[in-house]
C-alpha cells in the first residue's frame, strides 16, 4: 500500500465516521471502543476523489481485515452490495455521480463543517 497523507480534515472525518458506527466494524460487528486504531474509516470511492472524500454516504467504519478485503481486495462485490443495501439503488447511483464530479480542496470549510457536526 502507498503512504497516505493524513490531513487534519481526514482525521476529524475519520473520527466522525467511526463514532457514527459506535466504534464497531460495519461488516462483522466487532467492537473497537478500546482498540480504536483497529477500526478504519473506509471510503467506497477512494480518497483521491475530493468530491466524496468527506461525504458520509461514501464512508463506513471497517476493521483492518474487512478494509483490506472489501476496500482493497477480492471482496469488492461485498462492499458494493453493502453500500447499495445501505443507500438504496438510487442513493448509490447518486453517490457514484458525485464521485466523478470535480471539487476543489477546501480544508478550512471541511474542518468548520466537521467541528460543527461533531459538537
Mean pLDDT in order along the chain per 10 residues (119 residues): 76 96 97 94 92 96 95 89 98 97 88 86
This prediction has a pTM of 0.87
Burial of 41 (0-12, 13-18, 19+ CB in 10 A): buried
Domain count, the chain: 1
Q: How many CB atoms lie within 10 A of CB 22?
A: 11
Position 21 in a domain: yes
Domain with 28 in it: 8-103
What pLDDT is stored for residue 3 in this prediction? 66
Place of cell 478485503: 69
Position 119 in a domain: no
Position 99 in a domain: yes
Position 61 in a domain: yes
HEC states along 19-64? HHCCCECCCCCCECCCCHHHEEEEECCCCCCHHHHCCHHHEEEEEH
* Cα–Cα distance, 71 to 49 (Å, whole number): 15
What pLDDT is stored for residue 117 in this prediction? 82
- Determine the straight-line distance between the first and last CA of the chain, rounded to whole angstroms: 34
Position 118 in a domain: no
Amino acid at each position: 500500500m502507498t503512504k497516505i497523507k493524513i490531513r487534519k480534515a481526514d482525521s476529524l472525518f475519520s473520527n466522525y465516521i467511526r463514532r457514527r458506527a459506535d466504534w464497531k466494524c460495519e461488516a462483522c460487528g466487532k467492537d473497537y471502543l478500546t482498540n480504536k486504531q483497529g477500526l478504519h474509516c473506509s471510503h467506497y470511492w477512494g480518497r483521491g476523489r475530493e468530491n466524496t472524500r468527506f461525504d458520509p454516504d461514501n464512508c463506513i467504519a471497517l476493521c483492518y481485515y474487512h478494509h483490506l478485503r472489501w476496500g482493497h481486495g477480492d471482496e469488492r462485490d461485498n462492499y458494493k452490495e453493502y453500500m447499495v443495501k445501505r443507500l438504496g439503488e438510487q442513493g448509490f447511483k447518486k453517490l457514484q455521480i458525485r464521485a466523478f464530479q470535480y471539487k476543489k480542496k477546501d480544508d478550512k470549510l471541511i474542518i468548520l463543517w466537521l467541528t460543527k457536526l461533531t459538537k
